[in-house]
Structures are given as C-alpha cells and as structure tokens.
Structure 1
Amino acid sequence: MGREFVRVAIADLVGDIAARKDEHRKGGESPRELVAWLAGLAHTLADEAGVALADITLTVFGTPGVHDKGTSSLQLAPNLPGWDRPGSIGLFEGVAGDAPYLVENDVDLAAVGEGAYGLGQGIAHFALVWIGTGIGMGIMIDGKLYRGCQGAAGEISYLPVGEGDPLVNRGRGMLESVASADGVVALAGRLGMRGVSSAKDVFDAARAGDEAAREVVAAEADHIAHALAGIIAVLDPELVVLGGGIGVQAGDMLIGPVTEFLGDLVALRVPMIKASTLGTDAVLLGAMAVGLTRARDLVFERAVAQAPLG
C-alpha cells in the first residue's frame, strides 16, 4: 500500500505468483474505504487464481510507517491518513478473513526482497535506501532484517540533513522534505523551472541539459551523500541499494556524484552503491519472501498437529 499504488498478489507455497493486480489508488480513502477496496481486489484475485479466500494460509501487508503494536495502529505514515488511530490495524481482518496476517514496513520488505531476489543476494550486511514519494531505509545485518526496539529502525526521513523546508511541519522529516519527490519538485520551482509536476520531469530535463535541473540533481546527490555518510559510519554496510522511484529512475545520475561526495565524507572505504534491479516489485517480492517463510511453517505445524499419534 503506497501513496499512489496498491500492488496485490497471490502466490503458492513454491513462490510462483498465481494472480496479481497493480491498481492506482483513488486517494483520500478512509481506512475502512481502503480496506473494503482491498477486500474486493482480494476476491477478484482469488477467483483468477481458482482458489477461495479461505484457502489463503497467510496475508502480508506492506505499508509505510511503523506498526505500533501497543495501540494496533500505524505511526509515521502521513500518506495513509487515519491509520494512526488506535485499533486501525485490526481493520485488515476485513481482507485477510480468519487467516493470520502480518503488517510490515514497506521499505523493510523491499530490503528483504533485495536479499531474496535482488542485488543483496549473498551479501550479509547491506542497506536499502528508498527515495521516492517518501524516504526510508531497510537494514539487513547478518542476513536478517533489523527492526529496532519499536520497529522504527531505518526511519531516516528524520535525519537532520537539508535546509529545513516547511514540509517538515506537515509530518515529514528534514531529509524527506528536501530529498523526496516533493522536495525535488519544490527546489526546481524555487530555481525557476516551470511546468514541472514530478521528480521525473526534473531528471528528464537534467538529462536534456537544463542547467536549473542539473543544479537540482547536484543538490539531491549532496543530500543523499550526507545522509549515507551517517548511515555508513553507524552500520558499515558492504552494499547500499538505492530504491524507490528516484533511486531507481535517477540512479544513473546520482550514484557517481554521491560516491564522489562520500569519498570526502567517510573515514574508510566507500561501500558499493547500486540502483535496485527490482524496481516497483521490491516491496511485493519482499512480502512474498516473508510470507512464504511463515506460511510454510504454518502448513508444517498444521500437518504435525493433524497427524495421527503413535
């Protein structure tokens, strides 16, 4: 579940996708309206896959923000208004039915997806830095996802990097306010670019030689490099994967200058920095990887419980 898209899939226990839909969100839905829409998508997918919803072993929901288990709500998710109310997580039962379900941070799932299917395969220590409509990070240590004590590890949007844009006052951190897609568009406007409605417009203009757009790209690389310098000092990753719309689509323009900046900012070797090869599928693939592991355990546990004694 993202600000603009919802991606839903049903997979078998082998990991093959039986049915999938990528749908554009209408925007502005209340939590109940969004859950009702997701339930409709789930029914449609189940029909396409030739199964009943009751046959689903486990559902994994990937969302922005942090799952606060104490209040059963989503925190730090401004793109999903209303989900910060106590008990909101329980609404997912309207999609999952009687089957168990998990709620995971979307960027954490993207990091798991990179470890299972992407550039992180075989690498024990790496970070997935998501740069798009929001900014976040998934951390893999010794091949395992690191969540932190509140599940908030990797909420790097709140790093004190940037000039402190007014977007901070709308529930967004300093880094996110300047380096997210909205921050890129805002800076382009301040530098006199007209007719720019998306970060993609800015990066396309930079590729075409627009000087103001190139200045925006340089500022974006500077913000990312300063954020990564702190991350590298703390985590010492072997690899940093850039994901999200900006990380993937503009990686070719950012990796060079970011690496160059980091040469002056970090004490030891700069880690490998690469753009994700999974694109928009990273979160979905991470949800599959998490779901398959747990679903197989559930199936095994049920089989053992139903086996005759003796």
Structure 2
Amino acid sequence: MSPHLPTSRPAAGAPGVPWNRQRLRSNNEWLLLELLRTGGGSSRAQLARDTGLSKPTVSAALAELERAGLVRAAGRLAPERGRTAVLYEVEPTAGHVLGVDIGRARLRVAVADIAGTVVARRDVPNRGRTADAVADAVVAAAHEAIAEAGLAAGDIVHAVIGTPGVWDEEQRGVRYATSLPGWGRPGLFDRIGEGLGTVVTVGNDANLAALGEYTLGAGRGSRMFAYLLVGTGLGVGVVKDGELLVGAHGALGEIGLVPLPARPGEPVATIEQEAAADAVVRSARAAGLTGAGGRQPTAKQVFQRARAGEAAAVRLVEQEAERLAYAVAVLSAVLDPDLVVLGGGIGSSADLLLAPLEQALHRLAPMRPALAPSLLGEEAVLLGAVSTALESARPEVFERRTAELSDRP
C-alpha cells in the first residue's frame, strides 16, 4: 500500500503541466468540489468568499460540476435580506468505494459513496479453513454488500483491503501474516481483485486503523501518533503530521515480531506470541480458568470476568498489561510519539488495561506518551480502508466525469 494517496491535483503552471484555460477551469472546479466535500453545503457567494474566485467564475464552475454529476443543489438558504441562495453539495452517488478488513475471526466489508457515507456493509465470521476459502468468502461478502447498496461490481471505483502482514508488490502477496496460515501465498489478492472486478490496494491492518483513527477518532490533532492493534495479532500503525510512516520495506510497526527477553535455556517468544489473544487464552488455561461446560474461556470472556471482579481474571489482565507495556516502551524509545491509542479486539478493553499499563510503563521506561482508547473500536481497520479508498477514488471520479463531459457534443 502506498503511504500517501493524493488528495489534490497539479496546479496549472506546475512543471510539466501546461498553463491554459481548460486546466485553470479544471483546477477551479476541483477546488470547489473539495471545499464542498470538507465543508458541507455552501452557496455560490460563500464559495466565492472562501476561494477568492469571482462569483461568475464560481457560478460557471458549479454549472460544469453539476452537468458532470459531481455536485447537486441541496436546498435553499433564505437570508435575512437579499435573494434566496441555492446551497450546493457533493453528489454522493458519483462514485462508490469498497473497504475490507480481513481478520482471523471476522471478515468486515463496507461500501461507501464518494461523500464518505457507508451505504451497505457485511460483518461475518471467518470460517475459511484455507487461504483460498478466505479469499472467496471476502469476494462473496463484498458482492452481497454491493448488491445491498443497489450497485453492480463495476460501480466500485476502488477497493482497499486491510490484512495482517506486509504487502510485497514483487511477490504479489503478504509477508509476516502469522495469524492467518497460508495467507502469504502469492496470488491470493489477485484472486480477490479478479473476483471483485475493480482496482484493489492492499494495506496493513494496523496502518489502516491508524489512518482511520487519525481521520475520525482519537488520533486527530496529534503530531506523532501510534495505533497499537492488539487482537489475534499485534501490530502498530504510525501517523506523523497526517502522513502514514511505512519504513523502507513497508514493515514499520511490525512490533509483534520483536522478541521478549528470556532466561537462559528458555525458548525466545515474540511480543505477539506473548500478548495477543492466544496468549491470554493460554494464560487462562495455565491459571485453571474454565468456561461453560469446562471449556477454556476466550480472551473476550477473560476480560468480561475481570470486569465483573473475578480475582484470577484481574491478575491475567494485569499480566497482559505488563506485556503490552513492553511494546509501548519499545515504541516510545524508537519513535517518541505524543500519543499511543490502544485498539483491536483486546484493545477494546482499554477500560481495564490502561491503568495497569501506565503503571507498568512507569516502571519500564522514562519516555511515557499519553495513552488513550480507540474511539473507532473494532471498526478502525474497516473505516481506515474506506477512507484510504476514497482518497484514491475522488480524483479518479473527478477526472473521469469531467473528461466524459468534455467529450460530449
């Protein structure tokens, strides 16, 4: 996944871009379209004030955008004096995108219009026993959501898929996806792309969650913010001044692969092996906790029992916090973030984890970033995927629609 997808177009007069009236008109139209997207409905007079463009220029540009199906009249504003003003807004049906979150336990899919509103979604258990079965289940869930939105597959401009691991463009597969056996086999995402029939971008799940949280959640306004995703796997996404950091090979944030200190003769374990959901389940079994019918409890059930005050479960949560504190200490020393947001399946229990995590961090490291729970919860990866797909789709829809308009007789 590219670290940053463009949200603006080259200005007229930039190197390699000829200065002509057609390009200038196009830039004016893009500027107005972005203002309507970010600011909501607005009148021609207000748009002229906000951009410094003349009212005739704004009126002409809005007329072209309306002809292209990119904006629409959204109502009228009756001022205290003067004429009634027409309010314009982005035409949401001008294009649609698809966001996908592939996890070991769940598959989540969302269809959103070009204005960013989710119009259909699916959230289903991941029952695939093979990588191919998981890929096919993603395609099936996506087609169900697309049909629910009243669309055809060809109406999706761009799809972004969030997955554990790091995308390898040369191999056409992901590396380090330890929580999904067989998921690193080349060709799986090409199979998904062919099944969807649209352009697909693959992104690391923690990176997409970080983008979602920065755009819509707890990361807003942070200079350097890290999203710690703790679920069936463990990873980190880092956003600095609005830009996603990915490293030289796309693997920045794969902190789950870092080994933990071990005593001589003991096997070395990684942070992910010791702090992700399976580790909580193993610890519960070792502590003698059992669920209904004598079955071992899930990680979610351990946290539910800790929330109810069960002493053994509380101790397990404190143990989990100690392990996560080591991950945050490493992050703090290397990246010096001003904020670390806790998210993912286990991260959703931040109400139990944050206090013991802060205490453990004080014992471990002199650098102590602010800690906060995710505001997007288990939707962070999916919403990050949708937001990223929109960043790519918006300029594409604009170019396509305005080109079609210029080709009309």
With the length of structure 1 as denominator, give the TM-score of the two structures.
0.90
Look up the match of 1:138. 237
**Equivalent-residue separation in structure 1 for 2:235 and 2:303 (angstroms):** 21
Look up the match of 2:314. 214
Look up the match of 1:26. 127
Aligned residue pairs, count? 299
**Equivalent-residue separation in structure 2 for 1:56 and 1:266 (angstroms):** 47
- Measured after TM superposition, the shift of residue 231 of structure 1 is 0.5
CA deviation profile, 1:61-114 (whole Å, cap 9, x unmatched): 1111111112111111133333322333311223331x2110011111110010
**Equivalent-residue separation in structure 2 for 1:177 and 1:161 (angstroms):** 9
- Measured after TM superposition, the shift of residue 305 of structure 1 is 4.4
Verify the 8 A CA contact 1:127 1:139 in the aligned structure 2: yes
2:327 to 227, 250, 269: 227
**Equivalent-residue separation in structure 2 for 1:47 and 1:27 (angstroms):** 22
**Equivalent-residue separation in structure 1 for 2:226 and 2:300 (angstroms):** 24
**Equivalent-residue separation in structure 1 for 2:134 and 2:301 (angstroms):** 30
**Equivalent-residue separation in structure 1 for 2:280 and 2:113 (angstroms):** 40
1:244 to 319, 344, 351: 344
Residue 245 of structure 2 aligns to which amino acid in structure 1?
Y
Would the alpha carbon gap of residues 118 and 179 (structure 1) be closer, same or farther in structure 2, given more than 3 Å must change? same
Verify the 8 A CA contact 2:207 2:237 in the aligned structure 1: yes
- Measured after TM superposition, the shift of residue 46 of structure 1 is 2.0
1:37 lines up with 2:137 in the alignment: yes
- Measured after TM superposition, the shift of residue 163 of structure 1 is 5.1
Verify the 8 A CA contact 1:133 1:180 in the aligned structure 2: yes
- Measured after TM superposition, the shift of residue 307 of structure 1 is 5.4
Verify the 8 A CA contact 1:163 1:178 in the aligned structure 2: no
Look up the match of 1:48. 148
RMSD over aligned Cα atoms: 2.0
Residue 6 of structure 1 aligns to which amino acid in structure 2?
L
- Measured after TM superposition, the shift of residue 304 of structure 1 is 5.0
Q: Secondary structure at the match of 1:9?
A: strand
Verify the 8 A CA contact 1:184 1:216 in the aligned structure 2: yes
Which range moves more in the overlay, 178-187 or 197-206?
197-206
Look up the match of 1:66. 166
- Measured after TM superposition, the shift of residue 162 of structure 1 is 6.0
Residue 398 of structure 2 aligns to which amino acid in structure 1?
F
Q: Secondary structure at the match of 1:58?
A: strand
CA deviation profile, 1:263-295 (whole Å, cap 9, x unmatched): 233324x22101112111111110111011100
Look up the match of 2:377. 279
Larger Rg: 2
Which range moves more in the overlay, 75-84 or 62-71?
75-84
Look up the match of 2:182. 82
Would the alpha carbon gap of residues 16 and 179 (structure 1) be closer, same or farther in structure 2, given more than 3 Å must change? same
Q: Secondary structure at the match of 1:50?
A: coil
Residue 95 of structure 1 aligns to which amino acid in structure 2?
G
Would the alpha carbon gap of residues 266 and 174 (structure 1) be closer, same or farther in structure 2, given more than 3 Å must change? same
With the length of structure 2 as denominator, give the TM-score of the two structures.
0.69
CA deviation profile, 1:197-256 (whole Å, cap 9, x unmatched): 21122222323333332221221111111211111111111110000111112x112111
**Equivalent-residue separation in structure 2 for 1:62 and 1:95 (angstroms):** 17
**Equivalent-residue separation in structure 2 for 1:285 and 1:67 (angstroms):** 19
Aligned runs of 1:90-109 on 2, under 5 Å?
90-97=190-197, 99-109=198-208
Look up the match of 2:259. 160
Verify the 8 A CA contact 1:162 1:175 in the aligned structure 2: no
Verify the 8 A CA contact 1:4 1:27 in the aligned structure 2: no
1:187 to 278, 283, 291: 283
Identity, % of aligned pairs? 42
Residue 302 of structure 1 aligns to which amino acid in structure 2?
R
Residue 205 of structure 1 aligns to which amino acid in structure 2?
R
**Equivalent-residue separation in structure 2 for 1:267 and 1:215 (angstroms):** 25
Residue 228 of structure 1 aligns to which amino acid in structure 2?
V
**Equivalent-residue separation in structure 1 for 2:202 and 2:245 (angstroms):** 15
Look up the match of 1:12. 113
**Equivalent-residue separation in structure 1 for 2:222 and 2:122 (angstroms):** 31
Verify the 8 A CA contact 1:83 1:89 in the aligned structure 2: no
Unaligned runs of 5+ in 1: none
Would the alpha carbon gap of residues 279 and 80 (structure 1) be closer, same or farther in structure 2, given more than 3 Å must change? same
Q: Secondary structure at the match of 2:157?
A: coil
Unaligned runs of 5+ in 2: 1-101
Verify the 8 A CA contact 1:161 1:227 in the aligned structure 2: no
- Measured after TM superposition, the shift of residue 194 of structure 1 is 2.7
**Equivalent-residue separation in structure 2 for 1:162 and 1:190 (angstroms):** 21
